[in-house]
Amino acid sequence: MGIRLRSCGLAATLAVLTAASPAAAQNPPEHLRLVAPAAPGGGWDQTARVMQHALQQAGIARTVSVENIPGAAGLIGLARFVGSEQGSGDTLMVSGLIMLGAIVTQRSPITLREVTSIARLTGEYEVLAVPAASPIRSLDDLIRAFTQRPEAISWGGGSAGGSDQILAGLIADAVGVAPRRVNYIAFSGGGESLSAILGGQVSVGINGLAEFAPQIDAGTIRPLAISSAERLPGLDVPTLREQGIDLEFENWRSVVAPPGIDAAERRYLEGVVEAMVRSEAWRDALTRYRWLDRYLAGAEFERFADTEHARVQRILQQLGTTAKESSAAPGLYPLFVLGGLVLLGLAAVVPAIRRRPVIPSQTAVRGWRSVGLIAAGGFLDVLFAERLGFIIASAVLFWLVARAFDERRPVRDALFAVAVSVAAYLLFGRVLDLPLPAGVLAF
């Protein structure tokens, strides 16, 4: 009985492939390559791994490999795909809404018009979540803190211009905060983003349901809201809409082929994908990851992609959402900035200290006092940077460092510390768009 069912399934698969491309059905490739243009752990990587399993389990391809090419919201992978895989009839790349956002945000000269459209595969709702130990207990808590001091709330998510940032901007707009004030921290992959959220390095995280689901089940994160129109069965997470934010939002993912393939190769790859989405393994994956079946192929998918490009461009222009993609934890930015400024300050102060006469008996006492003041400044900066903001915390640090080497001019040193802190905040926080906390001085 089991053999008969398996044979029937294989026959159905071959029928689809034969309809798509008779030559390809008779000579299926030994190997099919899938490119995930992101680091492991994110939605594109997850989609590619599920495709790999479904294609092999259904016997559609003998072997399937997955290659990760992270960086720039998929644009590095897209550029390499277009440049290196031209004419490769055995290769597919995962793409979708996030890549469209990156193309618009970063004004990429290479777009999805350069590749060969194959099919849209899935849709997925987005979830807002905080670490289990976060003082933010509900969406109301988050919105209250956000509307009071927008820059003090950091939003962690996927690449700049992608679905996570778009949703953050839409939420801001819905609650009356200018989207440009969203302190959005972009990460190059779902793994990096999740680590930052779990580590409390951002105030709130946004990600796809499938990527958050294991952590929700484990209780390590607290979901605040989901972007679906109604609550999902078996998931006790309230929607944005039922909590007073009239929004429904859905991310989508697709697959594309390289440029330069011929018509027969395109028909074959379309047939492979169609057979996969009809397979039992793929249907099981949709249920397991709570993905929405959004299969769309051919000319209809091409028209959809063109429409989405225009829609994403319009939304991002309206929201004015931009961000720098980070490959390091966001909390390290202030430390890097402070470290550089402290070194510059020491370079200016040490020559003056050397010219000052020193009484030998006071050397040891002064040395310990200097170390204590610098250590106290560093401790206070780390402790209060988020609460009071970069300007106040770093001004205290700079003042204590100056006092550690020369205690004769406290007022001058205080004015110098404030001036340097304000200049650093404006340069790094406003001009270079690094996420330095504004704290109580948010404006």
Alpha helices in 149-279 (DSSP H): 163-174, 190-198, 209-218, 263-278
Give the CATH number of domain 125-250+322-326: 3.40.190.10
**Residues of each domain in the chain carrying CATH 3.40.190.150:** 2-121+253-296
- HSE-CB at 234 with a 13 A cutoff on CA atoms is 7
| Angstrom distance (rounded) from CA 179 to CA 172 | 5
Dump pLDDT digits (tens) for 146-200.
999 999 999 999 878 889 999 999 999 999 998 889 999 988 666 788 888 888 8
Dump pLDDT digits (tens) for 248-303.
999 999 999 999 999 999 999 999 999 999 999 999 999 999 999 999 998 999 99
Dump pLDDT digits (tens) for 236-246.
999 999 999 99
Tokens of 85: 């895989």
185 burial class (0-12, 13-18, 19+ CB within 10 angstroms)?
buried
Homologous superfamily (CATH) for 2-121+253-296: Bordetella uptake gene, domain 1 (3.40.190.150)
CA 60 to chain centre: 32
Dump pLDDT digits (tens) for 316-369.
887 775 444 444 334 444 455 555 555 555 555 555 444 455 444 444 445 556
Tokens of 223: 């979901």
Q: Measured in Å, how far apart are the chain's first and last C-alpha atoms?
A: 70
Q: Choose among 348, 374, 376, 353: nearest CA to 363.
A: 353
Rounded to the nearest 5°, which phi and psi values hold at 358?
-120, 130
Rounded to the nearest 5°, which phi and psi values hold at 244?
95, 0
**Residues of each domain in the chain carrying CATH 3.40.190.10:** 125-250+322-326
